Amino acid sequence: MSFQKFLRIFRLNLFIFLVTLIELGRSSVQIPRLRGVSFARAPLYDAEKDFTCFDGSKTIPFKQVNDDYCDCSDGSDEPGTSACPMGSFYCTNAGHKPQILPSHRVNDGVCDCCDGTDEYANENDKCINNCLEVGKAAREEAARLIEMYKVGKQLRAQLSQEGQQMRNQKEQKLNELIKNKEEAERIKAEKEDIKNKAVEAENKALEYYRELEEQYKRKKAEQEIEKLREEAVENFKKLDINQDGLLDYIEIQSRQAFDRDRNGEVSEEEAKLFLGNQDSVDLNTFVETTWKLLKPFVIQEATRLYNKPPQDGNQEENEPEVQQDLEQEQAQQPPEDEEEDDEEEEEDENEGREQQEEEQEHIPYDEETQKLVDLANEARNEYSQSENSLRDINDQIRQIEESLKKDFGSDEEFASLEGQCFEFTDHEYVYRFCPFDKTVQIPKSSSMETSLGRWSKWDGPANNIYGSMMYDQGQNCWNGPNRSTKVKINCGSENKLLSVSEPNRCEYAFEFETPAACKGFGDQQGEKEVHDEL
């Protein structure tokens, strides 16, 4: 079968030599090229010889190359058709840059190459050649990128310099602080010594007074017990209506105050409960046990009597006055002199206060002792001041050390971003990105911040570790994880938060542009890209 017949029979546009004219400098060169083969590989397809698959697996007659049937497992016999799953198709894209497609993009109805050479089989799927247009746009884009990188790189160098300076300053400051710290520690030790001595002297001088105070307290306590006893006796007398030296339950019943269950009457049972289920108690028992049970009720009664609703005006305003009056009264009259029930209650309330006063007041020291006490106080103050300034220094050191520990890039180029914040606003929220610190979300309608993460680490891929940042441990999502943010860092001529999205629930993705990321491009890649343009 002749080659021509073969073509006619199968109606397939197989085995077509493409002749492409390419402007190379000033000379026109004609290169015959098999469909889908790059210039570099063209010599491997020699129509005069049988074709051996690149992987050596098979040798076939050359007419089976590009005949739309896959003979080679590596796909090398079908560079221009979609027959081989493993094959690839080369389009020159004159006016733009060449492209290598997987074979299955050939004749699939989608124009992948700008020169349209990947779609040749079906009339309806023909593509236009827009390489000039696309190439122009790509070149402009490339030029823009190159310009951006150029500018960006300069800025990056500055940033890097600033970063280095900042690091130096921090290191300097750190050294300074470390020195200051030594000094502060020395001062602290000194002051501690002074303080210890002064306190020792003070303690010695106060020993006498402490003994005195102890005695005073003991006496006070005894007086207190006696006072309570007197109070009990006095009340016994009041309650023992028939003065028979026994307080019986009927006498208890006669007093409404003892209506425990507040049902309006003091039942026999209620009354006897106070008396330890006895019919009556004598004075001693009363003093020892019964009074303790009765006293709260007596006081409560007094309170009720005392707190009769105010006649008019505002109770809240009146009350403090009353209180004041009472305190005055209290101060004027020794507790022993109290007669009225309603005042007894006040005494109880004021007990705490009195005791406090008691503790505060102490026996006045003699002049010498006072001097020692003053000296000790002063020494204590100075010591605590020295402690504070050491703590301040330590805090500063820790801050600087933390900052120095942060990775601001291979050349410190990201350092100046620390302490700054950048915002992006979408239709619902404002997003704030504070590099090396946090990411937050603020609804437009309120000022409630939601933490989307705190600075964690650089987490770009191994070949571009500074390509992205991770912020994690943000606010917990309801029924979900803690919020986190991945910030993609790209080169740009200025610092700018470009976009925010939430690809997974509570996992945010920010895109950030900064000159600090303008590295690499143009060194090799950029030049290559430009070089590839035809």
- Give residues in contact with another protein (CB under 8 A): 1, 9-10, 12, 67-69, 71, 82-83, 85, 102, 104-105, 107-110, 121-122, 426-428, 443, 477, 479-480, 501-507
Could you write out the DSSP letters of every residue in 84-121?
-TT-EEEE--BTB--EEEEGGGTTSSS--STT-TT--S
**For helices 341-360 and 291-306, angle between their N-to-C axes, nearest 10 degrees:** 100
In the complex, minimum distance from the CB of residue 484 to another protein, in angstroms, rounded to a whole number: 12
3-state secondary structure of 25: coil
> CA 499, CA 424: separation in Å to the nearest integer?
7
**Least distance to another protein from the beta carbon of 134, Å?**
15
CB of 14 to another protein, least distance (A): 10
Nearer to another protein, 386 or 468 (CB): 468
Q: Name the token pair of 369.
A: 């002792």
Q: Tokens 């402009």 identify what position?
A: 140
Closest CA to 91 of 23, 14, 20, 15: 20
Residue 153 C-beta: closest distance to another protein, Å: 29
Q: Min. distance of Cβ 95 from another protein in angstroms? A: 22
Query: Closest CB to another protein among 102 and 520?
Result: 102
Residue 386 or 485: which CB sits closer to another protein?
Answer: 485
Closer residue to another protein, CB minimum distance, 9 or 29: 9
| Least distance in angstroms from the C-beta of 85 to another protein | 5
- Closest CB to another protein among 317 and 428? 428
Cα gap 18→30, rounded to integer Å: 11
Between 110 and 331, whose beta carbon lies closer to another protein? 110
**Torsions phi, psi for 468 (to 5 deg):** -160, 155
Q: At what angle do helices 131-239 and 367-405 cross, to 10 degrees?
A: 160
Contacts for 397 with CB less than 8 Å, ≥ 6 apart: 174, 177, 178, 181
Beta-carbon contacts of 351 under 8 Å, excluding residues fewer than 6 positions away, are none
Please identify, using beta-carbon distances, which residue of 51 and 408 lies nearer to another protein: 51
The minimum distance between CB 466 and another protein, in angstroms, equals: 23
Output 65 or 257, the one with its CB closest to another protein: 65
Pull the structure tokens for residue 465: 């570790």
Looking at residue 75, the DSSP 8-state letter turns out to be: S
Residue with tokens 């690091």: 167
Q: How far is the CB of 39 from another protein (least distance, A)?
A: 25
